């Protein structure tokens, strides 16, 4: 699927990223793995890229970003304008919303590849960045909860030094997000899984949809 690198950002976990690294190494795959995690802050989900540790959950967005920076990582506001109804169903805050204007995120996910009306929420992020002249990097993410959807969202970056180029592109804001095409069958499969996961996670109050 033409990926040079993949960021593994399991919720409050780092082991998945390490496991992926080992696998890539063992199979000698031409793929770089960016270790990361998705942190459930009190204000919304925040991606921590290029970190080698988990970051404590349930802190404010500002504190979470500070901790990610302290760990040497890049902090990304994931799906900042996730729908409010989904927050209610899950009983959590999924996106940091307008905090992207005040909290020093390194990048904002403007292309979350979740199909359907997700486009509307991506546009909300782009609009907020334009209106408020937020000039940090943007990312495209698959938010893939199953292997089939890896690569639906992509982040393009310049340079030819592998993930070092990605790291500096994110840091300096030279990235671009893109979303892949979803076949009807894929969308159907995605939504079936999503509904099942939402019901299960709302009952267990997990705070995510995976």
Minimum distance from residue 162 beta carbon to Zn ion (Å)? 26
- Letters for 63-92 (x = contact with Zn ion by CB under 5 A, - = none) are ---------------x--------------
**Would you say 35 or 95 has its CB closer to Zn ion?**
95
What is the Cα–Cα distance from 89 to 161, expressed in whole angstroms? 43
Minimum distance from residue 164 beta carbon to Zn ion (Å)? 26
**Contact call for residue 152 and Zn ion (CB under 5 A):** no
Residue 156 vs residues 98, 140, 141, 184: alpha-carbon distances, Å: 25, 8, 11, 26
- Kindly indicate which of the ranges 38-46, 104-112, 159-167, 199-207 contains the residues binding Zn ion, using the contact rule CB under 5 A: 38-46
What is the Cα–Cα distance from 197 to 169, expressed in whole angstroms? 34
- Kindly indicate which of the ranges 27-35, 40-48, 125-133, 168-176 contains the residues binding Zn ion, using the contact rule CB under 5 A: 40-48
What is the Cα–Cα distance from 189 to 118, expressed in whole angstroms? 16
Minimum distance from residue 112 beta carbon to Zn ion (Å)? 8
**Would you say 4 or 10 has its CB closer to Zn ion?**
10
Torsions phi, psi for 78 (to 5 deg): -80, 140
Residue 198 vs residues 116, 152, 208: alpha-carbon distances, Å: 16, 21, 8
**Would you say 80 or 137 has its CB closer to Zn ion?**
80
Burial class from Cβ neighbours inside 10 Å (0-12, 13-18, 19+) for residue 109 reads buried
Looking at 40, 45, 110, 121, which residue binds Zn ion (CB under 5 A)?
45
- Contact set with Zn ion (CB under 5 A): 45, 78
């Amino acid at each position: 699927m033409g990926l040079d690198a993949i960021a593994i950002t399991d919720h409050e976990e780092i082991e998945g990223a390490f496991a992926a690294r080992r696998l890539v190494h063992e199979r000698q795959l031409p793929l770089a793995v960016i270790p990361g995690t998705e942190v459930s802050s009190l204000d919304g989900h925040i991606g921590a890229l290029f970190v080698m540790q988990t970051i404590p959950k349930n802190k404010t967005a500002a504190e979470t970003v500070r901790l990610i920076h302290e760990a040497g990582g890049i902090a990304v506001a994931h799906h900042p304008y996730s729908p409010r109804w989904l927050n209610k169903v899950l009983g959590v805050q999924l996106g940091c919303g307008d905090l992207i204007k005040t909290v020093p995120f390194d990048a904002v996910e403007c292309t979350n590849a979740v199909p359907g009306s997700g486009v509307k929420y991506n546009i909300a992020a782009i609009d907020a960045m334009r209106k408020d002249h937020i000039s940090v990097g943007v990312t495209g993410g698959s938010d893939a909860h199953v292997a089939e959807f890896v690569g639906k969202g992509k982040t393009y970056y310049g340079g030819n030094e592998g993930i070092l180029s990605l790291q500096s592109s994110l840091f300096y804001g030279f990235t671009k997000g893109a979303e892949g095409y979803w076949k009807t069958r894929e969308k159907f499969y995605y939504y079936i899984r999503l509904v099942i996961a939402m019901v299960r996670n709302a009952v267990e109050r997990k705070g995510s949809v995976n």
